[in-house]
Structure 1
């Protein structure tokens, strides 16, 4: 796969590029050389606000603060190496809903993607208003807590005084573009997750539904992720340390940038993103839809995807790390490795923040079954890793049922750095996974897109395969039985956890 330039940019082809990604729990930046070498990486930790059950928000000030700090650190590193920064790539978690007034003043913190489940009643109302089948047919996806449209409707209904002042819609990547260049744009992929505002056949906003769901909002002009949105202004240069006049790409949602970073955008490819949440992106030869998945426009022109996302994955292991007061994950990973297949008879449902695909159940909750007084920290940590793997297998089964054709699996993200998690996923699914040399994720994908503005950026040359994780058949056979129990456990406990979820929201 090659990322081709859509608009040639000025600047030396030998210059370095910077990629920055705004994530759920941290922002990451990379300085990448002309041949794809990772020259420097940097991280800024942050945490979303949780103003109530099922609600996740973040201030846009956090996004800009993180970006400026990362940009200054990375441009200083470039200066130390005697290289110039020639372009900037951005990405971010999404779809998020940040509303501003006509002066670009944020009116409230942004509502985050599918981990925020506040819009259930709006989903029900919009389904009744427009028709579930009609929404899927036009927009590619059923309405769910992942979709931006119902969250806009929630703001209009629940915070009318604030909404009355709203004029523009931003996500993390488009907010950075606005602050850097003054351009008000959004990429097609991010727009395709604004269901029901975007028509995936026409590749444009669908005016009748947009006017009803998001009245008064001047929706942004649309571009493809790799197109130049504009150039760094003098004011932004003074704030960030970036050279004025260099191009900034339009950018996209983090998971799609991650897929680009490892070349997982060919037909038949499936990207698995190991992070705070687990994300799956399958590239299909033609538009496919499923009520249990998201059918989206791809990051690159002419591509289509079936995508899925779990509400938690690494978030659960981080919760366990903090609960156990462990300094880092390494010791828990070691103990989980000693626990062995099946975590000594523990089975976990990883629905600690509800579940996105394929359950589409914001009221699902985490369950740990089989606990005894003999179970250890390692057993619980192993059960969490296996729960994520079972969730991946569940999504893959639904992708296959919707007409997908998975020919290659590529793993990316922080969770690939240790061998255990990826091995468990391969054992549970029975599928091989490629792991590329650079697995820092979306920031690297943004840098690759930025390099595409300067010329061709072949992913295989930038980021070759480091290893292939193969399933172990004897483990796969043992996991088959556990997977059947996993699927039954949700059905057997759903009434109880739904009642508990209702109590939690009082």
Structure 2
């Protein structure tokens, strides 16, 4: 049976799927893991674990379907991450994760002062924020000189897996465009002058598109994974873009909402047909997963991470909390929550933002808090969508994907808060499925169509009767952040100072 494997390295778990030529999932496997948070604002992971989990997942998938004939391998992963290795591909330190890691504030400020916001935005598409990988490379150079002295190559989860499988040293254009400001988005190539200034002596990885073949499985990798030697492996890309592929949300005017540990949004334009590349300081402009596409992207630093925190804090389970949250009703009985428990990415770009819960009384229970958390993520989505539209995004279609789509309440709250209809496809496992689809496209003639693999099966429409409630709540949400920012920033500074006292030099 001809199949493709797709594996995604996520923030809280790695997931793998084995998919037949028609898009049916034959087997799934998951490995849970944790990130390391050694200091406030630092989020790291051991890159070696990514390969170990890939090996375990591939063997489990192949054992589940003994007659599987693997024709290609797809990879994806969270990002943009910074995993530096030596010349032999051995990591020199833990990987620094994407925008939830906010350590490089000083490097962002210095690079911005050195190069100028206008030049950075013109070349890279976006102003420098905690999402940009370039300042994190500079942070390692300045703050971890021992590791920097050994570093020769840069990887992200997808490119690391492709390297371990094939020996190739590549990075896809979409991921490269988030190594800002070291990638020229209009020319679709590395910006050599700035690379030499900030990233030398790192070797520049060759650039491919997400579905391009990076190489074939080596004999050594075949022995470890069970995947036959010579099997093609694609370059892959960052998980949110692979998720967009998995549900067909990568056409002009499409917006993907990814419900995961964090919430991610990707809006697509086609520069191949003459549409303008959108740039705005509070969002991220990137290359797309496919040639000729550009994206305006945004992300909340917490969504599923926030609901998991509340579940663990209250000692409850999700069905209990969802039932109680539904009973709480729109507005959570007078609560408004800011979901900035790990700082915030777009559109406020404030790594020192913190969570706030306003309106609490002794009459409130855990269901009200859970409802307020779901509504907070929806309010964050509304803030991002409004910012995208203000920048010129003509959003025509919204597709939901990710683990959070399994519960209808969260989907309904997002539609009610934003006033937007969402399409939900049959398969919502996410990035690993998108990676498997891209792999199939790389070795099939003709390439499969995602509409055939993964048709839309449900549409979530907003309740117009709730629009006044959520218009008022959104106004309070914006004013609560503005009104508490000064105190919250003081608390964030205190948290950093306390960390430094507790962390050995």
TM range, normalised to the smaller chain?
over 0.9
- What is the CA deviation profile of residues 373-404 of structure 1, one whole-angstrom value per residue up to 9, with x for unaligned ones? 01111000000000000000000010001010
Matching residue within 246, 255, 264 for 1:261: 246
Q: Partner of 2:230 in structure 1? A: 245
Asked whether the 8 Å contact 1:311–1:353 carries over to 2, the reply is yes
Q: What corresponds to 2:27 in structure 1?
A: 40
Partners of 1:389 and 1:428 within 8 A in 2: yes
The TM-score normalised by the length of structure 2 is 0.96
Aligned with 2:314 (options 315, 324, 332): 324
Note the 1:75-474 alignment, pairs <5 A: 75-79=62-66, 82-284=67-269, 285-326=275-316, 328-455=317-444, 456-474=447-465
Give secondary structure in 1 for the equivalent of 2:333.
coil
Q: Which runs of 5+ in 2 are unaligned?
A: 270-274, 498-505
Contact 2:48 2:91 in 1 (8 A): no
Runs of at least 4 residues off by over 4 Å: none
Q: For the residues of structure 2 that align with 1:408 and 1:23, how far apart are their CA atoms?
A: 26
Distance 1:229 1:75 in 2: 22
Distance 1:125 1:361 in 2: 17
Q: Tell me the secondary structure at the aligned position of residue 281 of structure 1.
A: strand
Offset of 1:330 from its aligned partner?
A: 1.6
Residue number in structure 1 paired with 2:485: 494
Q: Distance in 1 between matches of 2:402 and 2:476?
A: 28
Is 1:30 the counterpart of 2:31? The answer is no
Deviations 1:461-483 (A, max 9, x none): 00000100000001122101110
Q: Secondary structure at the match of 1:279?
A: strand
Cα drift, residue 113 of structure 1: 0.4
Query: Is the 8 Å Cα contact of residues 261 and 305 (structure 2) preserved in structure 1?
Result: yes
Distance 1:173 1:105 in 2: 16
Supply the distance in 2 between the matched residues of 1:166 and 1:343 (Cα, whole angstroms).
50
- How far apart, in 2, do the equivalents of 1:202 and 1:160 lie? 32
The 8 Å contact of residues 231 and 246 in structure 1, kept in 2 or not, is answered as yes
**Deviations for 1:193-225, whole angstroms, at most 9, x for unmatched residues?**
000000001100000111111120001010000
Q: How many residue pairs are counted as aligned between the two chains?
A: 490
Question: Displacement, 1:340?
Answer: 0.5
Report which stretch shifted further, 186-195 or 212-221.
212-221
Q: In the alignment, is the contact (CA less than 8 A) between 1:55 and 1:118 conserved in 2? A: yes
Q: 2:51 aligns with which of 61, 64, 70?
A: 64
Q: Could you tell me how far 1:16 is from its partner in structure 2?
A: 0.6
Distance (whole Å) between structure 2 residues aligned to residue 229 and residue 483 of structure 1: 45
Q: How far apart are 1:282 and its partner, in Å?
A: 0.3
CA drift of 1:133 comes to: 1.3
How far, CA to CA, are the matches of 2:240 and 2:278 in structure 1?
A: 19
Confirm or deny: 8 A CA contact 2:62 2:68 kept in the other structure: no
Q: Which residue of 2 aligns with 1:5?
A: none
Using the TM superposition, give the Cα deviation of residue 62 of structure 1 relative to its aligned residue in structure 2, in angstroms: 1.1
TM-score after normalising by structure 1: 0.96
* Aligned equivalents of 1:494, 1:482: Cα separation in 2: 18
Cα pair 1:78 1:85 within 8 Å, conserved:
no
Distance 1:410 1:448 in 2: 17
Equivalent residue for 2:36, pick from 46, 49, 55: 49
Structure 1 residues 80-99: Cα deviation after superposition (integer angstroms, max 9, x where no partner):
xx231111100000000011
Partner of 1:3: none
Matched-pair contact (CA < 8 Å) for 1:78–1:84: no
Distance 1:248 1:189 in 2: 17
